[in-house]
Amino acid sequence: MSDDFKLSKGGANHQEPRGDDDVMTTAQGAPVADDQNWLTAGPRGPQLVEDQVAREKIFHFDHERIPERVVHARGYGVHGHFELKKAIPEYSRAAIFNEVGVKTPTFTRFSTVAGNKGSPDLARDVRGFATKFYTREGNWDLVGNNIPVFFIQDAIKFPDLIHAAKPAPDRGFPQAQTAHDNFWDFISLSPESMNMVMWIMSDRTIPRSFRFMEGFGVHTFRLVNEKGEAHFVKFHWKPRLGLQSVIWNEALKVNGMDPDFHRRDMWDAIEAGDFPQWDLGIQVFDEEFAEQFEFDVLDATKIIPEEQVPVEIIGTLTLDANVDNFFAETEQVAFCTQNIVPGIDFTEDPLLQGRNFSYLDTQLKRLGSPNFTHIPINAPKCPVRHFQQDGHMAMHNPKGRANYEPNSWGDTDKPNEGRGPRACPERGFTSYPADVGGPKVRVRSETFADHYSQARQFYVSQTPVEQTHMANALTFELSKVERMDIRKRMIGHLRHIDEGLAQEVADGIGLEQLPEKVPAAREPITDLPESPALSIVRN
């Protein structure tokens, strides 16, 4: 194993001051005699622009802020490692899935979605669960959530969803923990979000801490083995501590008393040596299953129930070190669904494909340069060689004369010197040759049209207490919506999911008559079996 592929976080990730001299210097390294008094013309005179020490100090301070993430702005990052317990060469050629016992360094960032960087931790919101695996074949990012489904099927709707969820443009409120008309207006006009709505109204969106949450890759990905054979896969994180949530009243109190509750919990646990662990599970299935399954496996608003395809545990993530510097690591880390390694591949999931574009794009704006992979927290821990060069803040450029290919440097008198890296068909990433032909259209496949069956399956799989929490959450949220037509439209959706739930919420918000059902693109399957794995309370 190369020295680069090491577990220690010290120095490798933290952008530390250089040198061990304790004399303060300017950013140019010149020793500073006084950094508390600006040079003035006389003791009571005006400040002099000449003062290079003061000017540099203020200049740098003025530019400390970078844009917060457009979503998932509030987050908390932790170092750790992933250890493979079970090799899966039959499914994937990726080294990370074949070297049992090897500890791959990781960085995980937990987050809320809608709130800004300073918002409270206990908001009712989806939690991000993003992990960067620094594998010896490059970085693999599993950029997931604590909920296995998503609001929308197509990435083109993402800006609308997020605009509706964030504070309204005119009034600038509310934040994530209170309901609002824009959000429920969008949701009630987007039947595909109904499964996710059931999940966000459940206790899953008010976790007790990050340590008690599941995580999901959400999309169906592909695993590809040495022979080039592919299987579909869903990724799951199972917390060793089990699943726990708070109830809404507790969430409100915690938010008031300690808005940093979740990040403090993680920091304290790690400082105490109480390292949280998650098992990585996979659900693997083939084309044949995919075709017979009730739903389209490319539709990110659907799960594959664990009762139908059991989750197979293959390894463990241990989070064992807090960051040395929040900005350098947690703020500058850049996850991207596009970061995969040989043996893992995408599918044609239209949400995943859009994400692959979006993250890189936003990170250029957020971090300011295409060279953000040179920042230690984003840099792979394996050899990195290519002909990309220059740009703002370039830390690594091609060595020697050759910065293009094909080139013939080194071919003659000094083989292997000076020609730079070469693509390697044997070891390199090759896309799975999925058959994807077809006419150009802007129509979602009919196989994505059932929006209620799994929403119902989720609801009926909850314990009675959990169901009550959901009804209470819906009642609370919809009671905050001012427009009656939006409230009624939501009840019109709930009637497809469960008539009892629809009635309970309608009563709760004071509707005298149950509104009409919203016309359904496809009638729900009402006899899907219960899926106990969907409940937090698993006896």
In whole angstroms, what is the distance from residue 46 CA to residue 345 CA?
63
Q: How far apart are CA 501 and CA 529, in angstroms?
A: 18
Q: Could you tell me if 94 and 102 are in contact, meaning their C-beta atoms sit under 8 angstroms apart?
A: no
One of 55, 57, 163, 366 touching ligand HEM (CB under 6 A): 366
148 touches 303 (CB < 8 A) = yes
Nearer to ligand HEM, 148 or 524 (CB): 148
In terms of CB distance, is 77 or 191 closer to ligand HEM? 77
The radius of gyration of the chain from alpha carbons, rounded to an integer in Å, stands at 26
> Binding to ligand HEM by residue 199, rule CB under 6 A?
no
Size of the site for ligand HEM (CB under 6 A): 28
CB atoms within 10 A of CB 535: 19
The residue from 145, 283, 347, 475 that contacts ligand HEM (CB under 6 A) is 145
Among 96, 143, 344, 375, binds ligand HEM (CB under 6 A): 143
Cα→Cα distances 210→125, 134, 201, 217, Å: 13, 22, 18, 16
Q: How many CB atoms are closer than 10 A to CB 434?
A: 11
- Segment contacting ligand HEM by CB under 6 A, of 19-27, 258-266, 328-336, 478-486: 328-336
Q: How far is the CB of 323 from ligand HEM (least distance, A)?
A: 13
Catalytic residues: 72, 145
Decide: is 362 part of the binding site for ligand HEM (CB under 6 A): yes
What distance lies between CA 409 and its chain's CA centroid?
43
Q: Which residue is nearest to ligand HEM (CB)?
A: 128
Q: Please tell me whether residue 444 binds ligand HEM under the rule CB under 6 A.
A: no
Residues 275-314, one symbol each (x = binds ligand HEM by CB under 6 A, - = not), give -------------------------x--------------
Stretch that binds ligand HEM, among 28-36, 348-356, 396-404, 506-514 (CB under 6 A): 348-356
Secondary structure of 278-313 in the HEC alphabet? EEEEEEEECHHHHHHCCCCCCCCCCCCCCCCCCCEE
Which of 299/450 has CB closer to ligand HEM? 299
* Binding residues among 119-138 for ligand HEM as defined by CB under 6 A: 128, 130
Residue 165 burial (CB count, 10 A): 20
The distance of closest approach from Cβ of residue 338 to ligand HEM in the complex, given in angstroms and rounded to an integer, is: 12
The per-residue DSSP string of 408-457 comes to: -TTSSSSTTSSS-----TTTS-----------------GGG---SHHHHH
User: Are 371 and 392 in contact, with CB atoms under 8 Å apart?
Assistant: yes
* Phi and psi based region of residue 13 (left: phi greater than 0; alpha: psi -120 to 50; beta: remaining): alpha
Using the contact rule CB under 6 A, the part of the chain among 44-52, 70-78, 98-106, 304-312 near ligand HEM is: 70-78
Please identify, using beta-carbon distances, which residue of 263 and 469 lies nearer to ligand HEM.
263
Question: Closest CB to ligand HEM among 71 and 494?
Answer: 71
In angstroms, what is the minimal distance from the CB of 402 to ligand HEM? Answer: 33
Look at residue 538 and give its three-state secondary structure.
coil
Name the residues that contact ligand HEM, by CB under 6 A: 69-72, 75, 109, 111, 128, 130, 143-145, 150, 155, 158, 218, 300, 333-335, 351, 354-355, 358-359, 362-363, 366
